[in-house]
């Protein structure tokens, strides 16, 4: 489809060329009129110069009109170009705004961490349990009697010479049927010694009894107990 804007540029060029020619012609006419003014008589020269000047002014007016037309045409072109530029800018801005205003995707949900089960018992723990069951003896109490349940009575670490006896209660483990020896010292001197066989079960309790001289002599006593000739523990008490 043919638009008026397609003819704007050729028309503008023609008008500009024509206006330029008119301007040159009017300028030359003006110069000629002034030269005639000095070569002819004053009166005749004035009249002719007057006519030439009027013609030159008319030519200048026409040239100015043509230049104005060219400017108007150029302004029309500029207006069309500016309109297109504005439309393109607005279109680009709308597109950019649409892109900017597009919703940001929501972050993806992160799954909650699962509970970690506690670690299984290691061999180190099992070995500790084995160490707890290691073969040996352990002092339980010093007492002067024993009840029907086999528990110590009169538990103490200081006794009188009139005490009926002194009993050393101890526990044993992994030592069923082993031999226990106990040596009694008073003030560093051996005053009594004995030995006994433990029951056959692996774990249990046993008693080592003083069966030495009575009444007990005053002093500091030390009972050294061993399991199959291996030192196990030492029990200390005092008689006063």
> What would the pLDDT profile of 98-132 be if each residue is shown by its tens digit?
444 455 555 565 554 454 444 444 433 334 444 45
pLDDT band at 34 (very low <50, low <70, confident <90, very high): low
Q: Output the pLDDT for position 103.
A: 52
Return the SS3 of 175: coil
Q: Output the pLDDT for position 14.
A: 72
> What would the pLDDT profile of 139-158 be if each residue is shown by its tens digit?
999 999 999 999 999 999 99
Residue 26 contacts residue 63 (beta carbons within 8 Å): yes
Dist CA 161 CA 186 (whole Å): 13
Q: Are strands 230-239 and 158-159 parallel, antiparallel or unpaired?
A: parallel
Residue 51 C-alpha from the chain's centroid: 97
Return the SS3 of 32: helix
Q: Output the pLDDT for position 99.
A: 43
Dist CA 240 CA 231 (whole Å): 28
* First-last CA distance in the chain: 137
Q: Output the pLDDT for position 1.
A: 56
Residue 138 contacts residue 231 (beta carbons within 8 Å): no
Dist CA 16 CA 5 (whole Å): 17
> What would the pLDDT profile of 166-219 be if each residue is shown by its tens digit?
999 999 999 989 999 999 999 999 999 999 999 999 999 999 999 998 899 999
Tokens 């200081």 -> residue: 158
Mean pLDDT highest for which of 7-21, 26-40, 102-116, 152-166?
152-166
Query: What is the residue-wise DSSP string for 97-138?
Result: HHHHTSPPPPPPPPPPPPPPPPPPPPHHHHHHHHHHT-SEEE
pLDDT band at 138 (very low <50, low <70, confident <90, very high): very high
Q: Output the pLDDT for position 195.
A: 96
């Amino acid at each position: 489809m043919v638009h008026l804007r397609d003819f704007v540029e050729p028309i503008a060029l023609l008008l500009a060329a024509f206006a330029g020619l008119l301007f040159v012609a009017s300028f030359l006419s003006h110069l000629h009129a002034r030269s005639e003014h000095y070569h002819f008589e004053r009166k005749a020269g004035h009249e002719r110069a007057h006519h030439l000047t009027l013609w030159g002014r008319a030519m200048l007016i026409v040239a100015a009109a043509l230049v104005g037309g060219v400017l108007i045409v150029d302004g029309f072109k500029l207006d069309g170009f500016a309109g297109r530029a504005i439309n393109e800018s607005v279109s680009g801005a709308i597109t950019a705004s649409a892109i900017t205003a597009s919703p940001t995707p929501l972050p993806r949900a992160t799954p909650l961490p699962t509970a970690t089960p506690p670690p299984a018992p290691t061999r180190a723990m099992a070995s500790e349990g084995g160490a707890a069951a290691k073969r040996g003896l352990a002092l339980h109490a010093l007492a002067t009697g024993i009840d029907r349940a086999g528990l110590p009575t009169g538990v103490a670490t200081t006794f009188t010479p009139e005490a009926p006896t002194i009993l050393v209660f101890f526990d044993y483990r992994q030592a069923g049927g082993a031999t226990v020896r106990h040596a009694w010292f008073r003030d560093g001197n051996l005053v009594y010694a004995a030995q006994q066989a433990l029951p056959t079960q692996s774990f249990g309790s046993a008693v080592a009894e003083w069966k030495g001289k009575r009444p007990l002599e005053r002093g500091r006593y030390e009972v050294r107990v061993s399991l199959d000739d291996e030192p196990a523990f030492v029990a200390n008490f005092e008689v006063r």
